[in-house]
């Protein structure tokens, strides 16, 4: 192979990928700062630094350096300071808040918060910064202060709440997230909220800087009524707390209009609403009339959940135009994540960044003359772009992955719309391997997404390209139960996993199997999380696949109850009864109930620190297959969470992909 001949993707290419994130344009629209994450292969650690670009000028230049994590850059309102989170003070402790001049120089720590800062927001006049943060609990502080106790580690943990662990974090602090005010001149911290039971999140400033609005669930038993979110405002002078009356349901990201008259927020209506699409709501700031759903009757989902394994697109809060008449927001729709606008006077909708890719982190200059955002698609990793709003002219300003991508032959992808078994419209994609020859026959892999409330689509998937590089046709679809196609599509499997979703997947398999280039004797299947659920369901209901790889699966809904970090909430899907009230419905919809029918050679992949779908879910499948003498292996990854395939340690991500390749090569 010559130097100029494109090569195929390999698992180790994960070390080459640069994750471009969180672009923020300066208030005057002249500069854009953003973060680039990279992997140090020797230490297997991920670091991120800032880059700075002139919107109308030269190529971006690296702005911060060092083996640490610089994240979440935010310009001060006057553009004179960039605040950001960084672990540059200590890689062993939570990130702290720093400030740096846009012209460069040394960064200066702004405060020493005794815990973890999750989010921060400048006040309109720049004199304060609002923190969303969680204090380190007393037990942990006492242990860290005593050298002997620190070396011995935790002796025991005692909890009196069911929310005591979370995937990717581990066991939770006894503290919850609250709001704090930081004086930017003195560094003084003042706690705004502090109830021991009620967590506070997603704050926003009023335009005059006199009030803060935020989301909090202050029901009697918030752990058992997770959808009872409410909006609250707090007056920063009187400290008066006021509840904004809204329908029951999950809420996020409230945002004041620039004239202070309106509040926009994302939310769903109802307490048991996993299948409801997240919509954009509008309410007068004085609460004088009930909120209205600006997207009622549409199939749009206010989210940025198109699945990929190279960095998720940041979802931004509802963003107001300066005239308080238009709101900008992101939606998942037909495999894309796009940016839209809505005029609040007549609810007319229009695209700002349309279909075809994944848009994230959109952010405007003060006058809305220019917008920065990330954008990627099936063949391009996300990079930073700008759009001049008057002309809609778009320019790519970062190129961190161009050289890497230029080396590769990725094959090509075809989008296919087809009819499901009930006449329902379904969308799918076929990834053809490099140098595809339609006269040959190929082995194939059905990929099934997790969620189920998510979507596959126009995002770059390293895993898919790595499998296709082995001369496999990779095909994937969005069966009923996912997002991006409206409420009816999403709610079709509510209370009935394994029925319509399975039928949709088999209709897709039948369509692809009939292609002349598909070898029906060499068809494989894989999926993770809910996709793992469906993989195990499939091997218990059909023997048409010659190999399967189940990843981080759900197999037994009965034992999942109480052991997952979601603990009891899965019962909402199946009639909202516990297993000890209706064990039959849990068992009926558990793939393990049908595992006795399985004959498909199946590899089981799971992370040992998966708290979302505990590893016992896969252990049951592995033991059952061994008992049945069905060819199987279990590949376990220590110290990894449910998100291994997306954000795990890179050498383990590489081994995961090599294990999948090996299994499919052996049996296909």
529 is catalytic: yes
- Copy the structure tokens of residue 352: 């700002």
Q: How far is CA 54 from the centre of its chain?
A: 29
Instruction: Tally Cβ neighbours within 10 Å of residue 657.
Output: 22
Share of the chain above pLDDT 90, in %: 92
> H helices then E strands: how many in the chain?
12, 38
Task: Give the side-chain half-sphere CA count within 13 A for 43.
Answer: 8
- Would the CA dihedral through 399, 403, 406, 410 be positive or negative? negative
> Which pLDDT value is given to residue 56?
86
- pLDDT at 329 > cutoff 70: yes
3-state secondary structure of 377: strand
pLDDT digits (tens, 9 = 90+) for 198-222: 999 999 999 999 999 999 999 999 9
Q: Which of 304, 372, 642, 645 is catalytic?
A: 642
pLDDT digits (tens, 9 = 90+) for 30-51: 999 999 999 999 999 999 999 9
363 is catalytic: no
Q: How confident is the model at residue 3 (pLDDT cuts 50, 70, 90)?
A: low
> Which pLDDT value is given to residue 299?
87
Identify the H or E element spanning 191: strand 189-191
**Once rounded to an integer, what is the mean pLDDT over residues 74-103?**
94
> Which pLDDT value is given to residue 277?
85
Among 142-146, 441-445, 491-495, the range of highest mean pLDDT: 441-445
652 or 90, which is more confident?
A: 652
- Copy the structure tokens of residue 51: 């880059």
**Once rounded to an integer, what is the mean pLDDT over residues 445-468?**
96
**Once rounded to an integer, what is the mean pLDDT over residues 563-586?**
93
- Strand order through the sheet with 115-122: 115-122, 128-135, 178-183, 189-191
Q: Which of 257, 304, 312, 529 is catalytic?
A: 529
Q: Which residues are bridge partners to 548 per DSSP?
A: 525, 602
């Amino acid at each position: 192979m010559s130097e100029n001949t494109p090569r195929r993707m390999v698992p180790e290419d994960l070390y080459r990928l640069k994750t471009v994130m969180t672009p923020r344009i300066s208030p005057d629209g002249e500069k854009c700062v953003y973060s680039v994450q990279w992997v140090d292969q020797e230490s297997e650690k991920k670091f991120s630094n800032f880059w700075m670009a002139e919107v109308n000028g030269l190529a971006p230049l690296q702005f911060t350096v060092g083996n640490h994590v610089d994240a979440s850059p935010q310009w001060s309102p006057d553009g004179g300071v960039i605040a950001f989170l960084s672990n540059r003070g200590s890689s062993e402790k939570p990130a702290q808040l720093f400030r740096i001049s846009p012209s460069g120089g040394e960064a200066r720590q702004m405060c020493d918060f005794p815990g973890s800062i999750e989010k921060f927001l400048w006040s309109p006049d720049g004199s304060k910064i609002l923190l969303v943060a969680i204090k380190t609990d007393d037990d942990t502080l006492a242990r860290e202060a005593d050298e002997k106790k620190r070396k011995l580690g935790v002796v025991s943990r005692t909890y009196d709440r069911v929310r005591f662990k979370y995937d990717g974090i581990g066991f939770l602090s006894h503290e919850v997230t609250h709001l704090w005010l930081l004086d930017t001149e003195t560094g003084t911290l003042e706690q705004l909220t502090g109830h021991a039971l009620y967590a506070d999140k997603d704050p926003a400033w009023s335009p005059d800087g006199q009030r803060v609005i935020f989301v909090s669930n202050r029901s009697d038993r918030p752990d058992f009524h997770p959808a009872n979110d409410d909006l609250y405002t707090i007056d920063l002078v009187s400290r008066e707390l006021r509840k904004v009356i809204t329908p029951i349901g999950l809420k996020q990201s409230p945002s004041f209009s620039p004239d202070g008259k309106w509040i926009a927020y994302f939310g769903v209506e109802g307490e048991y609403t996993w299948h409801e699409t997240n919509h954009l709501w509008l309410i007068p700031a004085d609460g004088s009339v009930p909120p209205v759903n600006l997207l009622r009757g549409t199939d749009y989902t206010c989210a940025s959940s198109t699945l990929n394994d190279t960095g998720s697109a940041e979802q931004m809060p509802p963003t107001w135009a300066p005239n308080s008449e238009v709101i900008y927001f992101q939606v998942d729709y037909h495999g894309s994540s796009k940016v839209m606008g809505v005029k609040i006077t007549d609810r007319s909708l229009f695209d700002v960044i349309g279909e075809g890719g994944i848009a994230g982190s959109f952010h405007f200059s003060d006058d809305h003359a220019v917008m920065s955002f990330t954008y990627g698609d099936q063949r391009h990793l996300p990079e930073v772009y700008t759009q001049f709003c008057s002309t809609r002219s778009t320019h790519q300003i970062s190129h961190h992955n161009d050289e890497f991508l230029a080396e590769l032959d990725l094959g090509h992808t075809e989008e296919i719309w087809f009819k499901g078994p009930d006449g329902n419209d379904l969308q799918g994609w076929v990834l053809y391997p490099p140098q595809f020859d339609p006269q040959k026959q190929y082995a194939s892999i059905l990929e099934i997404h997790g969620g189920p409330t998510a979507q596959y689509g126009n995002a770059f998937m390293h895993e898919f390209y790595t499998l296709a590089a082995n001369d496999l046709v990779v095909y994937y679809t969005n069966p009923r139960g996912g997002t991006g196609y409206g409420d009816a599509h999403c709610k079709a499997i509510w209370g009935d996993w394994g029925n319509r979703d399975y039928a949709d997947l088999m209709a897709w398999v039948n369509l692809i199997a009939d292609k002349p280039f598909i070898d029906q004797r060499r068809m494989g299947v894989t999926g993770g999380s809910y996709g793992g659920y469906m993989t195990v369901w499939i091997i218990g209901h059909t023997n048409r696949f010659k190999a399967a790889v189940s990843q981080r699966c759900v197999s037994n809904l009965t034992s999942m109850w109480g052991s997952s970090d979601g603990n009891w909430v899965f019962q909402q899907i199946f009639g909202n009864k516990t297993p000890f009230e209706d064990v039959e419905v849990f068992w009926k919809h558990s793939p393990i109930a049908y595992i006795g029918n399985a004959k498909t050679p199946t590899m089981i992949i799971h992370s040992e620190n998966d708290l979302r779908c505990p590893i016992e879910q896969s252990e049951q499948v592995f033991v059952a297959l061994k008992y049945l003498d069905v060819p199987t292996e279990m590949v376990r990854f220590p110290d990894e969470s449910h998100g291994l395939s997306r954000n795990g340690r890179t050498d383990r991500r590489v081994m995961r992909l090599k294990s999948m390749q090996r299994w499919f090569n052996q049996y296909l």
